């Protein structure tokens, strides 16, 4: 039991659901909210409830969205013939911070994982297949992570697209720009060698 009662204890425990927050930071956060920023605390509770109530997934691409179709899917300025497939909405965020891509997205919300029992249906592959059947997509760009699961997922989607005669590409992986070889991990480096191109 917490020195200051069960509600404070519950708050400390609840704060630990946040990534990177251990018992010490959770306690510091709880004290801060109660001692110095009750307004911030209420605003956070309201924002949490509002976000959890309102935010759902786009019916076309599964991106986090407050509307049935997301801002990407309804934007006529985006290239509707390119579809970039990513694992998570945060991947979309990262890609959008560049201006390298102007097409649409499809968010799997994970990757194939027999270990965790995550199959094609959980990843919305039916929806993706329907989407590809509409003949609007000319290129599927695979941007799943470079992990065993991410690669297996990319392979699976590649087959879906190729079966429909749609061009399939995979974003390049290798040594990051400005990355010094000695600081690049060996997986990335071996991938950079395998993916070497003729000059």
For the chain, what's the residue count?
199
Kindly state the smallest distance separating residue 14's Cβ from its own copies, in Å: 4
Q: Minimum distance between the CB of residue 133 and its own copies, rounded to whole angstroms?
A: 27
Q: Which CB, 89 or 141, lies closer to its own copies?
A: 89
Q: Which is nearer to its own copies, 21 or 127 (CB)?
A: 21
Report yes or no: 14 and 23 within 8 Å, Cβ to Cβ.
no
Smallest Cα–Cα separation from 141: which of 191, 183, 91, 193? 91
CA 190 – CA 198 distance, rounded (Å): 17
Comparison of 56 and 170: residue with beta carbon closer to its own copies: 56
DSSP lists the bridge partners of residue 183 as none
Site residues (CB under 5 A) for Zn ion, limited to 31-90: 58, 60-61, 63, 70, 73
Contact partner at residue 162 from Zn ion, its own copies, none, CB < 5 to 8 Å by partner kind: none
Binder of residue 85, out of Zn ion, its own copies, none (CB less than 5 to 8 A by kind): none
Please state, in angstroms and rounded to a whole number, the distance separating the CA atoms of residues 177 and 67.
Answer: 37
Residue 60 binds: one of Zn ion, its own copies, none (C-beta under 5 to 8 A by kind): Zn ion
Which residues make Cβ contacts (< 8 Å) with residue 96, sequence separation at least 6?
Answer: none
Residues within the interface to Zn ion (CB under 5 A) = 58, 60-61, 63, 70, 73
């Amino acid at each position: 039991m917490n020195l200051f009662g069960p509600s404070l204890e519950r708050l400390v425990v609840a704060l630990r659901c946040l990534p990177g927050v251990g018992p010490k930071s959770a306690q510091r956060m709880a004290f801060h909210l109660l001692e110095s920023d009750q307004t911030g605390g209420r605003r956070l509770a309201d924002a949490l409830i509002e976000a959890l109530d309102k935010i759902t997934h786009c019916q076309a691409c599964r991106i986090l969205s407050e509307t049935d179709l997301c801002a990407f899917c309804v934007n006529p300025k985006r290239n509707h013939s390119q579809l970039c497939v990513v694992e998570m909405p945060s991947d979309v965020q990262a890609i959008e911070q560049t201006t390298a891509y102007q097409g649409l997205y499809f968010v799997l919300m994970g990757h194939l994982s027999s270990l965790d029992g995550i199959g094609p249906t959980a990843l919305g592959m039916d929806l993706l297949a329907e989407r590809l059947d509409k003949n609007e997509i000319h290129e599927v760009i695979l941007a799943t992570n470079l992990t065993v699961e991410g690669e297996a997922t990319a392979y699976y989607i590649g087959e879906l697209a190729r079966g429909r005669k749609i061009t399939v590409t995979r974003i390049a992986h290798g040594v990051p720009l400005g990355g010094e070889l000695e600081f690049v991990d060996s997986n990335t480096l071996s991938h950079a060698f395998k993916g070497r191109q003729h000059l």
